[in-house]
Amino acid sequence: MKKILLIFAIFFSVVEFVFAQESGFGIGIMLGEPSGIAGKYFLDKTTAIDFGVGTGFWGSGSGFAFQADYVQEIKNLIKWKYKLPFYYGFGIRTRFPSGNSMYFGVRGVAGLMMYVKKLPVDVFFEIAPSFRLLPTTGLDLDMAVGGRYYFKIKPLF
């Protein structure tokens, strides 16, 4: 388990430094199903790669958890004095409930974010139904609330 976490940490550190753009890379926490580290890397002003690494607690979602999604933001769907973009997308989901087993599936995700004024911080709530493909088929549901701090890192090239 520690080796898998170390591999993911190294991978995302390399991705952050090699591919990060002016729009930022955010990292923080998520609580729910699963709970752990949440990250987001903006590809441009409205699209991003969203990921989570942590621990699931229920059914086929128990044990080590990893998910990654391609998401699209709609910035002006809800008119309010705060920036409150809606986002949606699709991605993958893996769970490792015991030492030798693995569950793999695809998922859809939808959520709301709130950007904190004058701080590079967001707070989010998301729901993600998923379709488990391996080793058996089934439906699962992930929900999380969390927050991320954004770093503005210039690309190396």
Which residue ranges make up each domain of the chain?
A: 2-151
* CA dist., res. 7 & res. 131, Å (int): 25
pLDDT per residue, tens digit, the chain (157 aa), is: 555 555 555 555 544 443 333 368 999 999 998 999 999 999 988 899 999 999 888 765 578 899 999 999 988 776 676 778 899 999 999 988 876 788 899 999 999 998 877 888 999 999 999 999 988 899 989 999 999 999 876 544 3
Distance (Å) of CA 10 to CA 3, 45, 51: 11, 26, 14
> Which two three-digit tokens encode residue 15?
């991705």
CATH code at 2-151: 2.40.160
